[in-house]
Structure 1
């Protein structure tokens, strides 16, 4: 970064911004996901990226990297171990075609018992120009961070929060007058154009 260029990391075209206090004590209007982005959102959107997950459901995630920087991303999930079902590199520059082909192959393997004892992890390395498919059973209610373990990438938005379960049913209630830790980050001195990784 330099010459007025900022660095932005995205998942599903969303650059995560951490909330000023724990998500459990925030209003739902503070969060976003792919279903509630503004209509004029074309390249990326900055918000607290929360994916709602029903308790006891099976969550499948496909991560893929299309940046040209040659960086690998070690992704870590808090609160869970997951199974790594597939991992590899794209075979062409056709991202959409690659993803469709990989997912079709994955679905075929699932139907035909093609996966035997996938490894269990809590961190997986997303290859540069590649992909990884992972799964976990959402049986641990709460607010769980999923992020790139390169701290700088995490700071610039390469993370999201899985909100598992219903806070009013699956978790003890938030105590009345629960304190909030507010955001003490200084405001930026200048606006920079984003540079995606």
Structure 2
């Protein structure tokens, strides 16, 4: 009886280990680990945006900053071929006010709102809950996820965004952080955070 129970426990442990290993391989894709992308795309010049005939010389184009910040766009790819987004952190509101009188941050905490713009640059339709792939970190390295909250700054990002190629979405994502924390970076990844490329912006 004792040997039978021991063998059963060993088989269960081996099965559990195999499941964990398989999940790890699936989540990591190629197994190379997440790639942090913090280099922004170059912004279009005012002349190019105006559609004028005169083109700005290449030497006069301003190079993008080394690290992305508020207002910058980062190009991200999904794990599937043909999936991609241009993601922009448009605005940030620290200590954001609740748009619902019955819902507010917990005691000792505050809300930080980040407005994201998503543009589907891929050849496939994009369908996801963007807030699942967003995270904020403070200057001590503590990381915080999102909360489902409406703020007075503007409409929230939908929890069910569907974009055909070329389409875009705009909305606020809300994070709850301790009042004493200083927000340092915000990150975003496709596929509810499971894509290997992770965009990061300095706040």
Determine which structure has the larger helix proportion and give its number: 2
Q: Say yes or no: TM over 0.5.
A: no
TM score, norm. by length of structure 1: 0.27
Q: Using CA pairs under 8 Å that are at least 6 residues apart, name the structure with larger relative contact order, 1 or 2.
A: 1
